[in-house]
């Protein structure tokens, strides 16, 4: 299964944001710098949902004539890239699960 260029770019942007500002991603880290994986996933999903909601809100504002078209396009594009990333990660998780289930015991 191939990952599209937009999904790869979105994943790269998300990773760059997490490295630049880990507190903003919602991923909890301890003093030693190691974090809980479930907290990381929870934070990443929260950010994905928030990005999607922002895109929807900007589109609604544009429909009402209260938003700049450039801001709307940027928000909707960000939401689309986030959705592509979530779908790509989901596909990889399902693929890994299927591979594990096919392993002989």
* DSSP string of the chain, one letter each residue: -PPPHHHHHHHHHHHHHHHH-GGGGT--B-TTS-B-HHHHHHHHHHHHHHHHHHHHHHHHHHHTT-S-HHHHHHHHHHHHHHHHHHHHHHHHHHHHHHHHHTS--
Query: Does residue 1 belong to any structural domain of this protein?
Result: no
Total count of domains within the chain: 1
The answer, yes or no, to whether residue 22 has pLDDT greater than 60, is no
Maximum separation of any 2 CA atoms in the chain, in Å: 61
Q: How confident is the model at residue 8 (pLDDT cuts 50, 70, 90)?
A: low
pLDDT over 60 (residue 14)? yes
**Whether the predicted pLDDT of 32 surpasses 80:** no
30, part of any domain: no
Is pLDDT at 28 greater than 50 in this prediction? no
In a domain, 58, yes or no: yes
Does some domain include residue 3? no
Does 9 or 35 have the greater pLDDT score? 35
Q: What is the pTM of this model?
A: 0.60
Query: Is residue 14 in a domain?
Result: no
Residue 13 maps to a domain: no
Q: Which pLDDT does position 35 carry in this prediction? A: 75
Question: Residue 55's domain spans which residues?
Answer: 37-105
Specify if 8 maps to a domain.
Answer: no
């Amino acid at each position: 299964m191939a990952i599209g260029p937009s999904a790869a770019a979105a994943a790269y942007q998300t990773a760059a944001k997490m490295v630049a500002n880990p507190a903003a991603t919602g991923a909890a880290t301890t003093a030693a710098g190691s974090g809980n994986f479930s907290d990381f996933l929870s934070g990443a999903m929260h950010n994905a949902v928030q990005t999607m909601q922002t895109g929807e809100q900007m589109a609604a504002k544009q429909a009402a004539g209260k938003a700049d078209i450039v801001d709307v396009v940027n928000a909707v594009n960000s939401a689309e890239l986030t959705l592509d990333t979530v779908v790509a990660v989901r596909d990889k998780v399902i693929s890994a699960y299927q591979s594990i289930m096919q392993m002989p015991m």
